[in-house]
Amino acid sequence: MKKTIITMPGDGIGKTVLPEAIRVLDAAGFSADYVHADIGWEFWCAEGNPLPQRTLDLLQEHKISLFGAITSKPKTEAAKELAPELHDKGYVYYSPIVGLRQHFNLDICLRPCKSFIGNPLNFIRRGPGGKIEEPEVDVVIFRQNTEGLYGGVEWTNPPDNVYAALNSHPKFKGFANTPKEELAVSTRIFTKRATERIVRAAFEHAKRFGYKSVTVCEKPNVIRETSGMMLHICKEVAKEYRGIELRNTNIDAQMMWLTKNPETYGVLVSGNMFGDIVSDGFAGLIGGLGFACSANIGEEVAIFEPTHGSAPKYAEYETSIVNPIAMVLSACMMLDHIGETEKASRIRQAIARVVEEGNVQAYDMLKLRGTPEVSNQGAASTKQMTDAIIRALK
Ligand code: IPM
Ligand code: MG
């Protein structure tokens, strides 16, 4: 039976790269029914909702989705761009991807950062004697995707009952003299259930794919309750996985070390905000936006997306120059998820071949500024890059 895949191109270059990924899937012999779903800025402006109910219904029905990118703007700017008849009706803009993660409880976020040999964007460093070294990075970040600072439990000028609760905490003394209206509070809530799920997912992945260590990257020395809970759970779960070393780093130190010895890390696990940060950090070592792919996985629904944004300016170029590889790699993660692992690895090998040969390179790989002129400077267009991957598949 043919699978149905929900496609949510979203805004800007999301609309460019998603169809390119489907061209590669087709060429790899994966056939599916692709059903479009509305999401993004255009629906915010026209309907006051960037994530319409009809899209949620489609996702609920078909479970698997490819997602492009979304344009987000600050609250007041967003309100201004609403259709005139929707002004002052209480519509508030929120990030639809964060909304999707919450709505479908896509609590496991998986972000592989693996360097391709020959990628000119790979991180290099100076070794002993000044020798240039290019460490091979092969890291998979497991980010808790629904809780923590993204949970949305926050207030400016908190209501009386909340204020009273805060006031009952001995550490609130330092804030007690601040007028209530001048207080902004964002909570960082971790649950045992979700924390255990992300930690287990990390260890399972390490075991299945032969990674030697799981590094928990939090800040338990300061954020004792939440980071402390994650570290404690890691220690418990680690007992079930003999042979996989549990390492423990603080987010700040990790951001410093990741350029020093990135090849020594395997699987990482973090809460939501720190996972967001550390995954960008490692992505920077393997090519950045053009190469960073990601999966948002729940118990039922799974959504696969490149981590880059919608880059609205680039979407206006007559010939698109953006690198489609992050989107194609996200599609590979989808194939893995639905058991089409052989096709996924063939596509990854094709990308590896194109990158290593170096004949076709997007502007980012040539380290050019992304102007329309890059085509005259040897940069491949989006389509040419996809074509090269498809040729390498054959
Ligand atoms: C990501 C992005 C999102 C996040 C933004 C776009 C809301 O940075 O997927 O990493 O913060 O999770
Ligand atoms: Mg991010």
The rounded Å distance from CA 291 to ligand 2 centre is 14
Task: For the chain, list the domains and their CATH numbers.
Answer: 1-107+294-394 (3.40.718.10), 123-151+190-285 (3.40.718.10), 153-186 (no CATH)
Summarised one tens digit per residue, pLDDT across range 289-339 is: 999 999 999 999 999 999 999 999 999 999 999 999 999 999 999 999 999
Summarised one tens digit per residue, pLDDT across range 247-292 is: 999 999 999 999 999 999 999 999 999 999 999 999 999 999 999 9
Atom of ligand 1 nearest to the CA of 95: 7
Residues having CB within 6 Å of any atom of ligand 1: 95, 97-98, 276, 307
Among 8, 67, 94, 98, name the best residue to mutate to test ligand 1's pocket (greatest count of ligand atoms within 8 A of Cβ). 98
Q: Around 307, how many Cα atoms within 13 Å sit in the side-chain half-sphere? A: 25
Query: Measuring from atom 11 of ligand 1, which residue has the nearest CA?
Result: 276
Reading the block at residue 101, the tokens are: 């993660």
The whole-number pLDDT of residue 174 equals: 95
Give me the residues near ligand 2 (ion), CB cutoff below 5 Å.
276
Ligand closest to CA 307: 1
Summarised one tens digit per residue, pLDDT across range 194-249 is: 999 999 999 999 999 999 999 999 999 999 999 999 999 999 999 999 999 999 99
